[in-house]
Structure 1
Amino acid sequence: MPKFNVRRAALVGSLAGVLSACETAPERDPAALTLAVPAQWREAASVQEPVAGWLAGFGDEQLNALIRVGLAENFDLLSAAARVDAAREQAVIAGSGRWPQLSFVPGYQRGDADGRQSVESGAFSALFSASWELDVWGRIKAAQTGQEREADATGADYAAARLSLAAAIAQTYFEWLEAQWQAEVAAQSVKDRRVIVDLIRGRFNRGLTRGLDLRLALTDLANAEAQSASALNGVQILAKRLQSLIARYPDGELAGRRALPETPQALAVGLPAELLTRRPDIAAAFRRLAAADARLESAQKALLPRVTLTGSGGTSTPALADIVDPRSAAWNLAAGLAQPLFTGDRLQADIRLNEARVRDAYQQYQSVALNAFREVEQALAAEARLRDQERALREAVEQTEASRKLAVYSYQQGLIEILTLLDSYRSTLNAQSAHLAVRRQLLTNRINLYLALGGPV
């Protein structure tokens, strides 16, 4: 009686394994997340369809030209394109087992008959073999599907890389423009400090001011010259970085000097749920989840019997002319059925391994989606704060320029100390520099928003 129970349990287990192996990969919904996705963005004032081609909104033809060159010639992007091609060919390789495998081996063999090299003989041969696993259960097809989904994910990675490169070129370009204007502001500050030094030196020569005032003015001039040199160094660093992004030798010889463009006012963000199908990195993570599902299906179907057809044949004859005679050919054809019975838990472990990989891919998908939502909300929130900051700094620039002129007049009249005069110049420089920086930050944040939304270039 116990033996019967054991046999029955083994039979039930085998049937359960076969039935589970017949299951196909589930149909996934990109919106099937464990986190709650709101109907609208929290920081968006209005909901519109995202505008296609965000690059055109800046109206800068030089930027457009740089991005076109970068997308065509950047080495990292070309490498990513090669990975897409490799992944597609890997999918072809994965599916090749669904087709008959044929081989043909012609040959010639020569030797002696009695071992004393007195009688030599030779024979021509033409042998072929064929094998074909009938993919009855779809095991090979599932493996091929998994590799195709992986190739799709690699293609989405390439789309994400294109978008990231375009954003990096645009951001570096705006940083380069800002650096040129920062250098201009620093150079103007040096000129203004020299005027102050000349003013104080003249007053010192006439005995109207102390030597300490002249020393303080000269120190301030030296600091301004150092700041100007640092600003010029920043220009060449950014120019070389921009050249590297567009696959040009980084010699720093990059023409173009223009004002920073205004940040486009139109802000179209769409709906949060649309992000799941629009952003390429989310699409890549979702397709890798589908690939993991297909590989699990293939591992489960490895428990099922495999049906194979094999054939071989050919001829061997001393006369080359007889090798094409069909009467001298011999052949055989066989059909086989192979059912795994005991593999040391290898097949079951492979199933558990792929189940773990499915869980991992699902959590990775959710993590990528959550990070994408954060990036959009963060960029939307920063937009309003940066605009407020830009307005305040614009006002600060106007006030410091007015106070600097008043400070020069007051110092000439002996109403203020030299430190107050020098501080007014520093305040003007700092306000101008901060205003340029926040204008560039607005542009950078807008690009970050476009990047987070996943819109096309």
Structure 2
Amino acid sequence: MPAKPCRPMLWILSALSALWAVGCESPAPRDPHALAFQTPPRWSSNGHFAEAAATGWLAAFNDEHLTGLVSSGLADNFDLKSAAARVDAAREQAVIAGSGRWPQLSLTPVYQRAKSNVGGESSESGAFTALFNLSWELDVWGRIKAGQQAAETEAEATGDDYRAAQLSLAARIAQAYFEFTEAQLQATVAAQSVKDRGTIVDLVRGRFNRGLTRGLDLRLVLTDLANAQAQLAQARNDAQLIGKRLQTLLGRYPGNGQEGATEFDATFHLPQPPETLSAGLPAELLERRPDVIAAFKRLRAADSRLESAEKALLPRVTLTGAGGSSSAALTEIIDPRAAAWNLAAGLAQPLFTGDRLQGEIRFNQAKVQEAFNQYQSVALNAFREVEQALAAEAWLRTQEQALREAVEQTEASRKLAVYSYRQGLIEILTLLDSYRSTLNAQSAHLAVQRQLLNNRINLYLALGGGV
């Protein structure tokens, strides 16, 4: 009969089997679509739900100056370069995290010189020593691998952060470009208003000199002219502020006047955004937006860190070695007969750590919950941005059409008011109101045109498509 294994050996085998089973467990896979809130099958503010979401939004504006500025900014912006450096640093951090899976070998060459004095006679001696040390933790349970996986996933998330930064920078450059264009157009409108007010001043002064109007009318038109000149100065100041902000986004020194601005002020024209835009399906957003993807990967990285912390409770299997040789002559130090070495294998099982390991497990469990809720928040905010931009576009288009009609009406009323004042049919205040109404309508129309363009860019950015 074969000998029965002793009971202690059965206990040891059972314990090792249990440890192996526990050590090989991996965290449950995550589903990016497993959200804590319900998402609709289609966008509530968009009818083009059956089509794929739009990509390559920059070309849709058909503006060569804008395309050139975005390309320049993506190459020269310092914040984006910092984001690229963070990606490199995260990748190297993953290399560092995985280095513990490999043997660690070090060599220490030493030369020692000694002098002794015995019986009145002194002697000196020297020796060359070459020592090496080897240490290797066998990652039996995958603790180090889990930490490496966490670092690699974090590096991937940092790469997604970089893509998000690229999209954000391109959007900010485009929006600043349209803001600068609007500011220049606002300054043009204000300058024309000053010119028109000057014409009114000449008209009223002539009538005053002929005794056809009161001095109060002349004071009123002079006051109105001064206000128009102040508005022109404000418009030009707004333009230079936006121009300097745009130059900074491009990684250039914000020069004075028009220096450095010739590349983006060649033409002052606000284009109309494309008429239709497909936003795709809401479920697709979770796999398109870089910030959402990065948040999900950080959740997975937190899972891996928790796995590594839990496996720290298991025994660690290590191999250690040391050796070297010593000789008075440097040429003899490489003689194998002079070498001595030792190799040892060990098993280290944590027994009492002052609750440190359990604290690290609880800490990482809390970090997993933090990452989970952060992912939910980022995803929910992404849905809000898309729905908000889709709804805003419809209202902004309605507002733009109404203001376009208002501009046409105020221009017609202004011409009629000038004629009526010349005929003495209306007071000066009515004439001045007509000019102010024209200026306000033109200014508001330009502002809503720019808001419509900015909202379209916000929508492209919210959808997460490429530049």
State yes or no: 1:71 paired with 2:81: no
**Structure 1 residue 114: deviation in Å?**
3.4
State yes or no: 1:421 paired with 2:425: no
Could you tell me how far apart the structure 2 residues matched to 1:296 and 1:22 are? 14
Could you tell me how far apart the structure 2 residues matched to 1:437 and 1:230 are? 15
**After the TM superposition, which of the residue ranges 290-299 and 110-119 deviates more from structure 2?**
110-119
Could you tell me how far apart the structure 2 residues matched to 1:206 and 1:412 are? 13
Q: Which residue of 1 aligns with 2:225?
A: 221
CA contact (8 A) 1:125 1:316 kept: yes
Superposition map of 1:264-279 within 5 A: 264-279=274-289
**Structure 1 residue 107: deviation in Å?**
1.3
CA displacement, residues 12-59 of structure 1 (integer Å, 9 cap, x when unaligned): 999999865543122111001010011000000222212221000000
Q: Would the alpha carbon gap of residues 212 and 16 (structure 1) be closer, same or farther in structure 2, given more than 3 Å must change? A: farther
Q: Which runs of 5+ in 1 are unaligned?
A: 1-11
Letter of the 1:353 partner, please give it: F
State yes or no: 1:387 paired with 2:390: no
**Structure 1 residue 396: deviation in Å?**
0.2
Q: Which residue of 2 aligns with 1:314?
A: 324
Match among 83, 99, 104 for residue 101 of structure 1: 104
TM-score (norm 2): 0.93
Match among 370, 374, 392 for residue 360 of structure 1: 370
CA displacement, residues 358-414 of structure 1 (integer Å, 9 cap, x when unaligned): 011000000000000000000000000000000000000000000000000111111
CA displacement, residues 146-173 of structure 1 (integer Å, 9 cap, x when unaligned): 0111111111111110000000000000
**Structure 1 residue 344: deviation in Å?**
1.1
Q: CA RMSD in A?
A: 1.6
Letter of the 1:57 partner, please give it: A
State yes or no: 1:287 paired with 2:291: no
Letter of the 1:359 partner, please give it: Q
CA contact (8 A) 1:21 1:297 kept: no
CA contact (8 A) 2:410 2:438 kept: yes
Could you tell me how far apart the structure 2 residues matched to 1:13 and 1:386 are? 69
Superposition map of 1:50-449 within 5 A: 50-114=53-117, 118-252=122-256, 253=259, 254-255=261-262, 256-449=266-459
- Specify the SS of the correspondent of 2:122: coil
- Specify the SS of the correspondent of 2:81: helix
Letter of the 2:129 partner, please give it: S
CA contact (8 A) 2:41 2:283 kept: yes
CA contact (8 A) 2:208 2:214 kept: yes
State yes or no: 1:27 paired with 2:29: yes
**Structure 1 residue 257: deviation in Å?**
2.6
Letter of the 2:33 partner, please give it: A
**Structure 1 residue 217: deviation in Å?**
0.3
Could you tell me how far apart the structure 2 residues matched to 1:395 and 1:110 are? 98
CA contact (8 A) 1:17 1:303 kept: no
The runs of 4+ residues in structure 1 deviating greater than 4 Å are: 12-22
CA displacement, residues 85-135 of structure 1 (integer Å, 9 cap, x when unaligned): 000000000000000001111111000133677111110111111111100
The number of residue pairs the alignment matches comes to 446
Letter of the 2:146 partner, please give it: A
CA contact (8 A) 1:18 1:303 kept: no
Could you tell me how far apart the structure 2 residues matched to 1:284 and 1:455 are? 15
CA contact (8 A) 1:305 1:337 kept: yes
Could you tell me how far apart the structure 1 residues matched to 2:225 and 2:211 are? 22
Could you tell me how far apart the structure 2 residues matched to 1:309 and 1:91 are? 24
Letter of the 2:138 partner, please give it: L
TM-score (norm 1): 0.95
Could you tell me how far apart the structure 1 residues matched to 2:123 and 2:45 are? 96
CA contact (8 A) 1:272 1:373 kept: yes
**Structure 1 residue 430: deviation in Å?**
0.2
Could you tell me how far apart the structure 2 residues matched to 1:291 and 1:424 are? 64
CA contact (8 A) 1:109 1:123 kept: yes
Could you tell me how far apart the structure 1 residues matched to 2:231 and 2:319 are? 80
CA displacement, residues 255-291 of structure 1 (integer Å, 9 cap, x when unaligned): 2232111111130111101100100000110010010
CA displacement, residues 222-270 of structure 1 (integer Å, 9 cap, x when unaligned): 0000000100111111111000000011014202232111111130111
Q: Would the alpha carbon gap of residues 203 and 142 (structure 1) be closer, same or farther in structure 2, given more than 3 Å must change? A: same
Letter of the 2:199 partner, please give it: V
Q: Which runs of 5+ in 2 are unaligned?
A: 1-13
CA contact (8 A) 1:20 1:300 kept: no
State yes or no: 1:453 paired with 2:463: yes
Q: Would the alpha carbon gap of residues 69 and 372 (structure 1) be closer, same or farther in structure 2, given more than 3 Å must change? A: same
- Specify the SS of the correspondent of 2:347: strand
Letter of the 2:403 partner, please give it: L
Could you tell me how far apart the structure 1 residues matched to 2:133 and 2:179 are? 65
